[in-house]
Structure 1
Amino acid sequence: MSLGDTYLTVLGWIGSDPDFREIRQTPQTTFRLGSTPRQFDKTLNGYVDKPTTWFTVQCWRGLARNAFESIKIGQPVIVTGRLRTHEWTDDSGEQHSRVILEAFTLGHDLSRGTTTFAKNAPRAEAVPFAPTELTPAGATAAPYPPDEFSTTPLPLSAERPAAEAA
């Protein structure tokens, strides 16, 4: 995190098909995100939509690949990231700029539906492990840290086991 950067979290809907590219061998996915606030109107005795704010969202590296394979136009998502200003000069010498939301995290909004999660396989391009004198004996490197929780499936039924019921 840097001082002076603007971080925000946006709840919205995917407004365009995700566009996947590799820029200098770095994966990037870009899509549009629309966020429409709703407000209760007493005169109408109901909710009304306020103007939609549109964001261009950029995802990089692993997030870019996962986003491209996971999100579709029209799906509700939550995006957290930092605002960046992209400036350029066109062929006629005119200055342009646009604000981009550079995503750190992205996920489906589970208050609006369900989703299924699949963990990525370990990265093949893992950095080689070079032990130092501070490394404990027998330690090895892994591209990801070990799982924090067991992967034993939990029963999801409403029934209680007989031992608990007694």
Structure 2
Amino acid sequence: MFETPIHVIGTIITDPIRRRVGDQEVYKFRVASNSRRRTPDGRWEPGNTLYVSVNCWGDKLVRGAGASLGKGDPVIVVGYVYTSEYDDREGNRRTSLEVRATAVGPDLARSIAKVERPKNTDNTDATSGDAAERPGDAVEEDGETAEADDTRDDTALPMSA
């Protein structure tokens, strides 16, 4: 079966639902992605809106999205797009877009997030033994490992160009 990859940048517009389907969990929500364009006189004009249902499968993705995301959050969704056809209450044939997500995260251009990595007990996801990749550690310029400063201010800081 041919799968079409897609990425959607938008906002979660429904309260996410976490369900168990058989022996798996799924985290479902809808995303609206708004387009806009600049008019010849320099103003921004709203365009069309894409509405898509997002399904997150797999323990790690469900756990991460469920702990991090909710209605109103700006997100970036990466996955594969599918269409689903159904008949509505009046008997009209409808089509909806669904994305089976492979990755979901906050849109850092429109929000601030603090990344927390769950402790890995089975070591199946260990990437390397570098100190810079362990939570709570930081590598200073001279290569020495130093404990991360937990007293830092997590408010937005201006970024230089």
* TM-score for the superposition, normalised by structure 2: 0.71
Per the TM alignment, residue 84 of structure 1 is displaced from its structure 2 partner at its CA by 2.1
- 1:2-47 Cα shifts (integer Å, max 9, x gaps): 6x3111111111111110001112010000000001100125x310
Structure 1 stretches lacking a partner, 5+ long: 127-141, 158-166
Does the alignment pair 1:57 with 2:54?
yes
Structure 2 stretches lacking a partner, 5+ long: 141-148, 153-161
Tell me the percent identity: 25
Pick the structure with greater CA Rg: 1
State whether residues 27 and 65 of structure 1, in contact with CA within 8 Å, keep that contact through their aligned partners in structure 2: no
* CA 112–149 in structure 1, closer or farther in 2 if over 3 Å, else same: farther
* CA 97–113 in structure 1, closer or farther in 2 if over 3 Å, else same: closer
Quote the Cα distance in structure 2 between the aligned partners of 1:39 and 1:121.
44
Q: CA RMSD in A?
A: 3.0
> What corresponds to 2:146 in structure 1?
none
> What corresponds to 1:82 in structure 2?
80
- 1:135-155 Cα shifts (integer Å, max 9, x gaps): xxxxxxx33224454132256
Larger strand proportion of the pair: 2
Per the TM alignment, residue 69 of structure 1 is displaced from its structure 2 partner at its CA by 1.3
> What corresponds to 1:28 in structure 2?
26
Quote the Cα distance in structure 1 between the aligned partners of 2:13 and 2:79.
18
* CA 42–59 in structure 1, closer or farther in 2 if over 3 Å, else same: same
Aligned residues, how many? 137
* TM-score for the superposition, normalised by structure 1: 0.69
> What corresponds to 1:70 in structure 2?
68
Given the alignment, which residue of 6, 9, 12 partners 1:11? 9
> What corresponds to 2:124 in structure 1?
143
Is the partner of 2:71 in helix, strand or coil? coil
